[in-house]
């Protein structure tokens, strides 16, 4: 192992820069060269990369986003593009590649692993926290805190106007972000794609809350549950509640990473470089029950991470 490549791919997440920094400095301490591929998979397809040194990753641990830039690369589904990327790795004698990203990026990494001898290790970084093989992804804690801070502000105006707010959070098709945010803001209702909900049940809860003297409510809804604008209108039509919708959007993707996201990035980076040094490729690193570990890349790609529905029941008890 002499040269490793690093690439950030898919949706960016706060902490990606901390991971790039740690990978570079740990690799240098092991006398490895580091090449930073730019703009996700496009950097491999078009052979666009730059050397990373301990100095070139200085002063970035506190920055959101990724200094390597990233993108979604649908063309990476085409065999010839994957082969071009493999060629870049082989031509530049890249012995190991660390892919910092989420599920979509790891699926691309799995396809790439079949076309190259370069060892590939995934570092899970996505605000969605939906990667099988890790309890937590880089960026998730930061996105949770961003959302919590915004919803605490919304709670003020909800109380003042005695209004019900639907707050839509990200998470793509999963409810990990919505569930954790919902619990930590004391949401009266949490809606996740994994659990089918009846609108009548929502109307009933809001009416009961009002009768109990709860004059304002926060409903945290994962973006994957469907049309929240339509839901807001239906609630207003079927209850006495005055309803407003607030879509948190892309603020959840940015901001300075929390200490936890930075720590996870540094620990995952250490594990990833150590796996490559041991010649162990086609794995993703992860946090499992407090331990930094790794699982097979293919298993992660093919397994859906379960949502802890016990937490959903806890949330409803806490909101009474």
| Site for ligand F6P, rule CB under 6 A | 11, 72, 102, 126-128, 170-172, 223, 253
DSSP run (H or E) holding 148: helix 140-161
Is 152 part of the annotated catalytic residue set? no
Q: Which one of 12, 90, 117, 128 is the catalytic residue?
A: 128
- Identity of the residue, 11 or 286, whose beta carbon is nearer to ligand F6P in the bound complex: 11
CA separation for the pair 139, 70 (Å, rounded)? 15
CA separation for the pair 229, 105 (Å, rounded)? 31
CA separation for the pair 214, 255 (Å, rounded)? 33
- Identity of the residue, 140 or 275, whose beta carbon is nearer to ligand F6P in the bound complex: 140
- Identity of the residue, 154 or 170, whose beta carbon is nearer to ligand F6P in the bound complex: 170
- Identity of the residue, 140 or 165, whose beta carbon is nearer to ligand F6P in the bound complex: 140
Structure tokens at 318: 């806490």
Closest approach of ligand F6P to the CB of residue 241, in Å: 27
- Identity of the residue, 21 or 172, whose beta carbon is nearer to ligand F6P in the bound complex: 172
| Cβ density class 141-170: b for 16+ within 10 Å, e for less | bbbbbbbbebbeebbeebeeeebbbbbbbb
Instruction: From 61, 58, 52, 53, select the one nearest 18 (Cα to Cα).
Output: 61
Under 8 Å between Cβ of 120 and 281: yes
What number of CA atoms fall less than 13 Å from residue 273's CA on the CB side? 25
Closest approach of ligand F6P to the CB of residue 165, in Å: 20
Closest approach of ligand F6P to the CB of residue 104, in Å: 8
Closest approach of ligand F6P to the CB of residue 53, in Å: 30
Structure tokens at 38: 């730019």
CA separation for the pair 192, 305 (Å, rounded)? 14
Closest approach of ligand F6P to the CB of residue 316, in Å: 24
CA 208, distance to chain mean position in Å, is 35
Instruction: From 75, 79, 112, 81, select the one nearest 97 (Cα to Cα).
Output: 112
Q: Give me the active site residues, please.
A: 128
């Amino acid at each position: 192992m002499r040269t490793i490549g690093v690439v950030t791919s898919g949706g960016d997440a706060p902490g990606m820069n901390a991971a790039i920094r740690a990978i570079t400095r740990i690799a240098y301490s092991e006398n490895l060269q580091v090449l930073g591929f730019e703009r996700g998979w496009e950097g491999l397809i078009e052979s666009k990369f730059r050397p990373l040194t301990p100095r070139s990753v200085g002063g970035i641990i506190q920055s959101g986003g990724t200094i390597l830039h990233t993108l979604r690369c649908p063309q990476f589904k085409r065999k010839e593009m994957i082969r071009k990327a493999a060629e870049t790795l082989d031509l530049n004698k890249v012995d190991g590649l660390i892919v910092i990203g989420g599920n979509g990026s790891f699926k691309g990494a799995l396809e790439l692993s079949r076309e190259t001898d370069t060892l590939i290790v995934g570092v899970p970084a996505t605000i969605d926290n939906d990667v099988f093989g890790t309890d937590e992804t880089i960026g998730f804690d930061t996105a949770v805190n961003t959302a919590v801070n915004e919803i605490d502000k919304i709670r003020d105006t909800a109380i003042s106007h005695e209004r019900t707010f639907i707050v839509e959070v990200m998470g793509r098709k999963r409810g990990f972000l919505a569930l954790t945010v919902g619990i930590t803001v004391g949401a009266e209702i949490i809606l996740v794609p994994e659990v089918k909900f009846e609108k009548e049940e929502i109307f009933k809860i809001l009416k009961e809350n009002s009768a109990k003297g709860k004059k304002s409510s926060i409903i945290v809804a994962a973006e994957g549950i469907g049309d929240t604008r339509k839901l807001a209108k239906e609630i207003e039509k079927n209850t006495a509640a005055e309803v407003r919708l607030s879509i948190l959007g892309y603020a959840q993707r940015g901001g300075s990473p929390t200490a936890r996201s930075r720590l996870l990035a540094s620990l995952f980076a250490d594990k990833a470089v150590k796996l490559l040094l041991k010649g162990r490729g086609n794995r993703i690193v992860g946090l499992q029950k407090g331990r930094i570990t790794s699982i097979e890349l293919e298993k992660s790609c093919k397994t859906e991470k379960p949502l802890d529905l016990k937490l959903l029941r806890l949330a409803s008890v806490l909101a009474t």
